[in-house]
Amino acid sequence: MKKDLSMKDGTSKKGTLGEVLHSQGVSRRSFMKFCATTASMMALPPAMIPMIAKALENAKRPSVIWLSFQECTGCTESLTRAHTPSLESLIFESISLDYHHTLQAASGEAAEAAREAAMEENFGNYLLVVDGSIPLDNPGYSTIAGISNLEMLTESAKGAAAIIAVGTCATYGGIPHANPNPTGAVSVKDIIKDKPIINVPGCPPIPVVITGVLAHYLTFGSIPELDHIGRPKVFYGQSIHDRCYRRPFYDKGHFAETFDDEGAKKGWCLFKLGCRGPTTYNACATTKWNNGTSFPIESGHPCLGCSEPDFWDGGGFYKALSMPTEDISKTAVYAAAGAAAAGAAIGALNRGKKNASNKIHIKTTIEDLRK
C-alpha cells in the first residue's frame, strides 16, 4: 500500500505517534518491526530497540516546514522514492508536514498562508528542513511566490527549534556554489547563526539517513551529536574508505588501473581511478542505496565524495587523491612568474576559466527559437 506523503489536514496534528499508528490499525508487532528497522537506520545498537519503541510511542508529532531553494529536487526524490513506498515512510506519518512546495497540493497564496499559519501556531517548536543553496548575488535568481530565498529562510528560521539542511547544496552550497559560483550561492549555515543546524549532506543524501535524523529527533527530542562540519556522527562518523569492503585490497596495494583491467574485474581498490573514499564521510558503504542493494564502489565506480564541501571543485573525479588537482606548471605558468604564490596562480586559473566560459556562452534569442 502506498503511504500518503501529502500535506496533513491539521486534524491529526495532536496526539502521539503511538496513537496515530494505533488509529491506522498498525499492530504492536508491526510497530516492533518499525522500531527494529528505525534502530538499524539510526545505526544504534539493537539492544536499544525497546527504548526506541517506548520513546517513539510517546513522541509528539512535530510540525515540519520544508523549504526548497536552488536545488534539483533530487533530495526530495531520494527521500520520498515515490516508486517504492517503504517502512521508512512511516516516519512521515509521525510528522506534520505543513509546507513542502513540491509535495503539497496547495499553491500560490494558499501555500504561503499554510507556511505562515504553521509558523505562527508552532513558533519556537517546528523543524525547518531546507534543501538547495541560497543565492546572494541577486535575489531574483531564485524566488518563491515573489519572496527571495534569503528572505524566506531568515523569516522561517526565526521560530524554528532546529534546522535540518538536507543535501550538499543546503549544507555547503553544492553544485550552485561550484566555481565560478555565478549566483553567489551559499549554505544555510552561512546565513543562520543562532539556531542549531544539522547538516545532512550528499548529492543526494541516502534516504534512510534523512529519515534517520528525523527519527532521532522524534526518539530523543534532541539533535544528534555532530562532527566539526555539522554532520550527525552516527552516519558520518567514519569514512567510506574505512567501511569499504574493498579496503583489504588498498592495504595490500592491489589497485584497478583502468575500468576494464584485470584489477577492476577482480574487484580491487579504485583509489587510482579517483576514489574519494578516504576523504569522504558518509554511510554509503554500510547503509547502501536502493534498499540496501549496493553503493557506487560496489558497482565498480569510485566514490565522488558528494557529501564533502566543494566536492565539485576537486580537480577531476578520475584523478587519484594523491595527484595534484591542477597542473599549475603548464596551465598557469604566466601567473607564476617570479615568486608568485600558488594561491594566486589558482585564482588566476579560476578567473581564466570563468572568462572562457563567458566567451563561449551564446545567448538564445527569440529568432533562434523560430528557426
Partner 1 sequence: MSTSAFNIQTSNELTRNVRPILFEVRHALDALLDKGETSIIDLRSIPLAPGEEETILKTLGQGEVHARLNALGPSEIYETRYAGVWLITHYNEDEAMVSRFIEITRLPDILKSQTEDMSKALTELTQALGTQDT
What residues line the site for partner 1 (CB under 8 A)? Answer: 1, 26-30, 32-34, 36-37, 39-41, 43, 45-47, 49, 84-88, 90, 243-249, 252, 254, 265-268, 285-287, 291-292, 294, 298-300
Which residue, 192, 178, 4, is CA-closest to 104?
4
Cα–Cα distance for residue pair 77/207, rounded to 1 Å = 9
CB-nearer residue toward partner 1: 52 or 157: 52
Cα–Cα distance for residue pair 234/174, rounded to 1 Å = 22
Residue 5: other Cβ atoms inside 10 A: 16
Radius of gyration of the chain (CA): 23
What is the phi/psi pair of residue 64, to 5°?
Answer: -125, 130
**Least distance from partner 1 to the Cβ atom of residue 42, Å:** 10
Bridge partners (DSSP) listed for residue 131: 68, 166
**Least distance from partner 1 to the Cβ atom of residue 363, Å:** 41
Give the CA distances from residue 88 to residues 25, 36, 50, 180, 324, in Å, rounded to whole numbers and listed in that order: 17, 11, 18, 38, 42
CB-nearer residue toward partner 1: 184 or 267: 267
CB-nearer residue toward partner 1: 60 or 254: 254
**Least distance from partner 1 to the Cβ atom of residue 261, Å:** 12
**Least distance from partner 1 to the Cβ atom of residue 21, Å:** 10
**Least distance from partner 1 to the Cβ atom of residue 287, Å:** 7
CB-nearer residue toward partner 1: 39 or 75: 39
All three cell numbers of 171, joined, read 549544507
CB-nearer residue toward partner 1: 4 or 155: 4
